[in-house]
Amino acid sequence: MAKRPFFIPSQDKEELVTTNSVEFTWFSGFAKSQKQKSISSFHENISKEFKLDKILEISTKSENKLGIQLSAFNLIISYKNKEYFLESLFQGSKIFTDQGPNEDIYEMSSIDAKKDERIKRSDLKEFSFFGETFSLDFDFYSWLYFIALNQNNNLKAEILNYKAFTDIEFNPEKSLNCQAYSAALYSSMVHNKILNNNKEYKLEELKNLIPSKKFKNYQQKLI
């Protein structure tokens, strides 16, 4: 058995995302089929315990094409006439106590960026995005996620059709950020009319709309 969190867009502007957890059957092994069995059990137990339907798994292991497209490994961000994978921008922007950012990681594939030995550390200090610095008090990951959605009209429209989001790869004991949380936050902010899904925002505008610390990505519960 395993226990993992899932994220629900809230209609309450004071609590934009509700986080709950359920236990489910974990199918061990690295094969995609094993992960998808775990996802099925995860979603089944969410539906049983919380009476929820329209649950979207966001990861490369998702059986839903939209969930695969919404993975940070696949989302593309256009910046100054160049395209980058969200995951690569996130990993390359990390600053540690004695090194970083590593902007050469920006040019890597998502898989190579994630595997880079330079970012496998626990002393994260802040982020630097093309020279602009962000403290850990800012939800940098969700900001990147919002930028990617803002640049893809189809994805940001479809994401609103789901009532809960999961990421089978996310383990809160090992990871700090979760794409399922960021997706739920985006959906909630649109439904609560904080974001206009039909508007194309500038990066600075999105940065100013990211909620204050108590609404931050899952990392804030851990730091």
- Domain containing 17 equals 2-75+137-221
Tell me the one-letter amino acid at 46.
I
- The tens digit of pLDDT for each residue in 178-220 reads 999 999 999 999 999 999 999 999 999 999 999 875 445 554 4
- Taking 50 as the threshold, does the pLDDT of residue 26 lie above it? yes
pLDDT score of 217: 56
Q: What is the 3-state secondary structure (H, E, C) of 137-163?
A: CCCHHHHHHHHHHHCCHHHHHHHHHCC
pLDDT score of 154: 94
Q: Do the domain assignments include residue 27?
A: yes
Q: Are strands 132-134 and 124-129 parallel, antiparallel or unpaired?
A: antiparallel
Q: Do the domain assignments include residue 105?
A: no
Average pLDDT over residues 104-110: 98
One DSSP character per residue, 74-117 reads T-EEEETTEEEEHHHHHHHTEEESS----GGGGGS-HHHHHH-G
- Residues across the chain: 223
Q: Do the domain assignments include residue 54?
A: yes
Counting residues of the chain whose pLDDT is more than 90, the rounded percentage is 87
CA distance 31 to 156: 29
Q: Please tell me the pTM assigned to this model.
A: 0.93
- The tens digit of pLDDT for each residue in 82-105 reads 999 999 999 999 999 999 999 999
Average pLDDT over residues 8-14: 92
Q: Do the domain assignments include residue 213?
A: yes
Q: Do the domain assignments include residue 108?
A: no
